[in-house]
Structure 1
């Protein structure tokens, strides 16, 4: 609940003293009136706070002035309390009995009931208290305060209604942090800006989205002079930079790209220009149409640390610094793909440039991905150890089975048994050698492992799958050899049972290969 709205505990603790018979006629009249008025205010507060309109209605009808009575030490009236508590029905009925002046009565901190509702994200109540006849009587100061509250709480339909009332003033308006409405919208995720809200309470039509509000404000910005646009969109920070840093959608960035001509010389606190940020936050789809022969100086510029665009492209993104839902191997593959694509997008001489620490872009890439390389190495060792154990067991079973061939050697099933058993033996042996190469190959060194994955991580598990599948088929063939002349039904029962462990093995083994599927459907979204 909003701090400006008094809680139930704020109701004055009134001790009612019941006089005895000998002094019942001695109490001053004004004391009894004060006690009675305090109790009534306490009751009114609780009715408003608990949404008890049926109990509040007789009080208001008996005394219309009761809607103006402060019920808390903060000067909150019944409408303040109900609006802050989110009691929609109470507010809707109460304002029918109030004049616009009473609805717009502020508390001791200058907060209107609609401000308290907006701070607490009570959208319906804000809509009720923002009818056109109330907005016409609201001061600009209150409109501006409400405008920023509604944007911060994603009530874009109300925000655009306020903007239409005072478009010029609200275009230049800034909040307590000196941010304009463009700065706030640029920092919001696109998923929030494109979200449709509930129907408007007056028109019953589908409400506007944050993108509609952004388009309306930007239409007003286009009418300004270049110097005014520059001041508006670059102080305290560049709105285009804010949109890029927040990972916003291309549609949002395109609006602010209209002013790119006046942003070419703008830098952030780290000395990074627009192109630096596009590489840092991996927005090459915006970079390619932006940079031409006239803007090559942006591409070759360095920041305060001497980093060029490739140094920044080599940095590990925020999503990989936290839990990304991907294995280290897949992360490394994506990182390599991104960095190689960035290298192809810039002049060749940038690859060998050194920053103030004396490091080239590839040196920065190594440093940033050391932990990821270590994770891959540890994962590879775990896979190799487990794979070698399983492959050794399969090879042992296959070798022993080859020495004790069951049943009739003239049967076609005998040929199936020999072939599949040989496949199981030799592929499991190859799998052992493949996993063993993780520990013997020089490519397992850190300096090379960062840039490439050892082939055994792919071929070892694949060979192991083949060997297990062949072992299962060999067992099924052996059952037909043994029960060929007696109870054949046993073989037909064993066959489908043999498929089950094979499917389970493939399912669990695929966890090492199908990280791309995992990332697509189960990767958590970062906020």
Structure 2
């Protein structure tokens, strides 16, 4: 079947002729594609890209466009599902890399032989799913990839390569089940001279001593039973509800933004040319290139510095966000690769950012010291005010004289809230002062502590001023509205000053930590993952 698929003759036209169909497949626009098919039935199996992809290759790249894929598969003849690209990859190979399980099920249901077709690097779809870290897809393909085929993907070097790739991706439950079914794979050496055990030994996070869980996380996880993937699930069905979600990894959002700008600003002809060339260039450079001046992409990204941000903590956080984003679409096996200097990406990142970490720690702790002093002062004032209540207490009952006055109730509540907020603020800033300020803490831990501390510091100041206004009005107001208005205006002055000076910092921290960050909000376009 493979021979007939690869040699099958299909109508070929100029690529610009198929550009509307190409764009419809990317958008998942079935109505637009159907009109094209009605006027040109040959377009269903036509080669519409420079690397001889069909519309099905393009369509499976978007998990949201499952209706498009479903309609397309119904329209295509069964033998067309195995049409190959320039790199001898069927649509199922693409689906395996994208992690689009629903599309994979549609394809395999029509042609059960698709999981047994290899690409030009002798990779089965199952191997590609493991290489690109798609756990749901790996588990599903294990249920439909048979062992009684030649060559057998589960024995010898193909099997050992599959096992090592699964271990690299961190799917230890799947790897354990695979070893139980094929014990010889544990000692079989891959073409690269590795075994699953040697790869596992090089992943510190795979062992309890190499983990970075906090005390509470260790306590929680110690009570959670480990659920391994059962062999029955792998043979007869995938229990996807118990699997950790592994969405299809996409290209860097910055590249997406660049490509979207090209599509918006240039003519259709230029866009088609740029799109095709850009994906070919990036596709060859990013996920599979062994050396670019003997330094891999993730090592190069680890050496990049963003100089446009003024606050060291925000700058360090943005550096980590960039690194993590690149880490997402680099195949898992490359995250632990060494460069020509024998350094892994994480080591390069640490070395290149050590000065920024020191500067960020200094800025952060200086800020925490100043804010701790202010929060402690507020806590002292409101605590003293709680003891010496406005107007004093009755000599007979010992209760406050103005206990039944509404302004006094406001004083009590705001004073208590001010004390609580200031103590929360002090706790956050003390945590920062006592923190070791590790590199990874700048991503979420330290920014969140700083945000909570600053917000509570402002709240404590605001509640303190409200308590002050209420106390003055309770004792001297005597129901005069002009006194209340004057006090309110005066109270707003220090609050406004504090807010105007600290709000930009808090806003930047919240946006950097919990907002769209440097990659923007527009995640609607999920472009196809680049080819290997």
| TM-score (norm. length: structure 1) | 0.45
Which structure has the higher relative contact order (CA within 8 Å, separation 6+)?
2
| TM-score of the pair, normalised by structure 2 | 0.45
Q: If you compute each CA radius of gyration, which structure gives the higher value, 1 or 2? A: 1
